[in-house]
Amino acid sequence: MEAEAPQRLTRIPKEQKGPSRRSRLGSTLNYIVLSILAAAWLTPLAWAVDTALKPESETTITPITWDSSNFNLGAFKEVIDAGNILRWYGNSALVSIVVTAGVVILASLAAYALSRIPFRGRTVLFWVILAGLMIPPQVLILPLFAEMQIFGFVNTYQGIILPQLASALAVFILKVFFDGIPHELEESALVDGASRLRIYWQIWMPLARPALAAVAIFTFVTSWNYFIWPLVVVTSTNMMTIPLGLQAVQSAFGVHYAQIMASAVLGGLPLLVAFIFFQRQIVEGIANTGLKG
């Protein structure tokens, strides 16, 4: 940052000279093009909100208009009063929180051992986990469902949650992170007679906080948005998560456009709000893990 400052300063006088007008024109043009693109990108969301606020009778008129004689929250009220969406929020929150906590704990324990404890068999285990990275979860839906039938977990929270805990990717990301921390820390703690569990908990977990946060955020978003597995394992409306429930929403309301859009807006809201708060972490998390992979 500090190194950049003088550079910016030296650029100012240059811009006042000859080519400055061209570059200023370029950057204005750049702003205009980008603003149009950004507006276009947000338009579908704006249209959804607009429709949700209209009275049902005005949602399908042509020629279309963004205006309405009576903007109101009636559609939202009806969707919430119908009850299902709150139940789905609850299911989604429960599932995503348990999955996130579970993945962070299980994966960090495994990643710590793979990175720091030279036990026999660790190379084999690492390759077994690495191989798991190449298995898309979608291909396993049939045998997993058969398994859930055997365990009696069809249409239960365990059934939705358990398969999501086997995240090879989380182990891999955390192991790479642990590998990058100097060995001396570990050794001096061992010499002091601390147990491995204490070292893991008191030294590594605090050190790994940024990596753990990235893994946690991703696991949460992925789990909240996970569609295909809940579609397979959930068989009743009251066990549905948000993505699954919304997909069936038109059968609940009939084709009432304002209410369907109100459900969509409500379904998208929690993560949009979370994204506004965690924008930096989410964006950096993608950039770091993605670029390393």
Partner 1 sequence: MEVQQEVARAPATQLSKTRGGNRWRRDLTGWGFMLPFMVVYALFLIWPVILMIKYSFTNKSLVGTGGSQFLGFENYARLFSDPDFWSSLWHTVWFTILSTPPLVILALIFAMLTNRVIRGQWIFRFSFFAPFVLPVSVVALIWWYMMYSPGFGLIDGTLGRIFGSSSSLASIPWLTSTKTAMISIVITTVWWTLGFNFVLYLAGLQEIPRELYDAAAVDGAGAWAQARWITIPLLKRTTLLVLALQILASLKIFDQIYIMTSGGPDFSTRPIIEYFYDQGFTSYRIGFASAVSVVYFLIILAASIAWFVLSRRREETA
- Residues in 186-205 at the binding interface with partner 1, rule: CB under 8 A: 190-193, 196, 200
Residue 201's φ and ψ, nearest 5 degrees, are -80, -40
Residues 6+ apart with CB under 8 A from 188: none
Of 54-73, binders to partner 1 (CB under 8 A) are 59-64
Token couple for 99: 């999955």
Site mask, partner 1, residues 121-150, x = CB under 8 A?
A: xx--x--xx--xxxxx-xxxxxxxxxx---
Q: By CB under 8 A, tell whether 208 contacts partner 1.
A: no
Of 252-291, binders to partner 1 (CB under 8 A) are 255, 257, 260-261, 263-265, 267-268, 271-272, 274-276, 279, 282-284, 286-288, 290-291
- How many other C-beta atoms can be found within 10 angstroms of the C-beta atom of residue 63? 4
Pick the piece of the chain touching partner 1 (CB under 8 A) from 3-11, 76-84, 178-186, 204-212.
3-11
Token couple for 287: 């950039």
Task: Give CA–CA dist 4/6, Å, rounded.
Answer: 6
Question: Of 169, 171, 214, 216, which lies in the binding site for partner 1, with binding defined by CB under 8 A?
Answer: 171
Site mask, partner 1, residues 8-47, x = CB under 8 A?
A: ---x-------x------xx--xx-xx--xxx-xxxxx-x
Angle ∠(36,40,46) on CA atoms, nearest 5: 125
Of the candidates 180, 164, 172, which has an alpha carbon nearest to the alpha carbon of residue 128? 172
Question: CB of 106 within 8 A of CB of 168?
Answer: no
Site mask, partner 1, residues 70-109, x = CB under 8 A?
A: -----------------------------------xxx-x
Report which DSSP code applies to 127: H
User: What's the min distance (Å) between Cβ of 239 and partner 1?
Assistant: 16
